[in-house]
Amino acid sequence: MITAKFEYTGEDVVAYEVSGHAMSAEPGKDLVCAGVSAVVFGITNALIGLGLEESNVKMKDDGYLRVDTRDADEDMNALIYGLIVSLETIERENDEYLAVIMET
């Protein structure tokens, strides 16, 4: 299962972490994994394009990604909330393979 955790302080997302594997199909045919990866990496790259420091992004080869978003501006926050909505949309139809968790 893929777990996407969003950490909040008040109303602001201060970090997000994505880990695990969907295992909804064999490697190379796993549409849940492909969808989550596309959304997460697309938004993360967009955040970097808007000025998020690359040092705020931690990634491992085993499917782990953590992004510190404490310094996000208004535009970045809009993308982060778009990431949440996109992942929740995928989760709605695939909750056995993806869990979106909000932590305060």
**In the chain, count of helices (H) and strands (E)?**
2, 5
36: exposed, middle or buried (C-beta count within 10 Å: 0-12, 13-18, 19+)?
A: buried
Neighbours of 13 (CB within 10 A): 21
Strand order in the sheet with 2-9: 57-60, 64-68, 12-20, 2-9, 98-103
- Which 3 state secondary structure label does DSSP give 98? strand
Catalytic residues: 21, 33
